[in-house]
Amino acid sequence: MDKQQLAHFLRSRRAHVTPREVGLPEGGSRRTPGLRRQEVAQLAGMSIDYYIRLEQGRGPTPSRQVLNALGRALMLNADERAHLFHLAGRSHPLVSPAPGEVTPEIRLLLSNMAEVPAFVVNPIYDVLAWNTMASVVMGGLETRAAHDRNVIRWAFREPDEQTRAWYPERDYLGELLVADLRASAARFPGNQAIRDLVQELSASSPHFAGLWADHRIAVKRNMSKHLYHPLTGPFEVICQILWIQDTDQRIVAYTAEPGSAPHRALRTLCDAIREGQLLSLGTASSSSRV
């Protein structure tokens, strides 16, 4: 715990919150901007003496409950809350937002990325939203049940024809996905969906269970990936992972160097979609497909 840095951070954030923002009366003239110490203590449900000691760098290590209360009182955003927990020497108990909450702005971005396959995943690799190119190279996402639109499940079940085509390097990707899932479990220790997926796959896949027992942790980075489509044959793309700010979601996009053979393959698929040669399979709800 860095008591002096924590004290400085609390004083700084207190100065940036006005009484009006937290529903308190102005209370006459103020010598300094922001909230008074007693107002923060009141909003956080703690004694004024305890809060003063925190601001003076003399207090004990605050509990997670106290840190959460301070985060609410000072109107901290997600990044500021994480920093508050870090200064206090506490791990930040992140909780994943409800699955499927992809913003309209991100859906518009996917739609505008019409020439490359792009989709959004959450920490357990549920595919939450996608564009038409992604559906084409991933075998018709619209036809899959929501439970089955999960990249990690595809990697550890008996492959069907679609999965074999999309996952030619299935074993290698499986190792990366399990290491990434381990990283998500560390970031979101209270996430029940992660626990449920681990329990499900550990019971159904000895390969997954063995990889999970290795305790390898690594966030999945940009990498090369092999794709296949009957119209183009096999081709290799760059798999790019883009974090979406203030969420636990990521955009996965398959790109290629302009003028390269993989780029021409992607253009062939894109042109076929525009000309109606490749129709999207099934009908997706507006909350999923873009």
What are the structural domain ranges in the chain? 3-87, 104-274
**More confident position, 142 or 236:** 236
pLDDT of residue 202: 95
Enter the pTM of the model.
0.65
Identify the band that residue 134 occupies on the pLDDT scale cut at 50, 70 and 90.
very high
Within 13 A of 74's CA, how many CA atoms are on the CB side?
24
- Res. 51: pLDDT tops 90: yes
**More confident position, 121 or 187:** 121
Identify the band that residue 66 occupies on the pLDDT scale cut at 50, 70 and 90.
very high
Q: Which residues of 204-231 are buried (b: 16+ CB within 10 A; e: fewer)?
A: ebebbeebbeeeeeeebeeeebbbebee
- In percent, the amount of the chain with pLDDT more than 90 equals 38
Q: Rounded to whole angstroms, how far apart are CA atoms 109 and 222?
A: 19
Q: Report yes or no: 250 and 129 within 8 Å, Cβ to Cβ.
A: no
Domain 3-87 falls under CATH 1.10.260.40: yes
> Do the two domains 3-87 and 104-274 of this chain adopt the same fold?
no
Residue 82 corresponds to which tokens in the numbers above? 């994480």
Domain 104-274 falls under CATH 3.30.450.180: yes
pLDDT of residue 285: 29
Q: Rounded to whole angstroms, how far apart are CA atoms 214 and 218?
A: 12
Main-chain dihedrals φ then ψ at residue 264, nearest 5 degrees: -65, -35
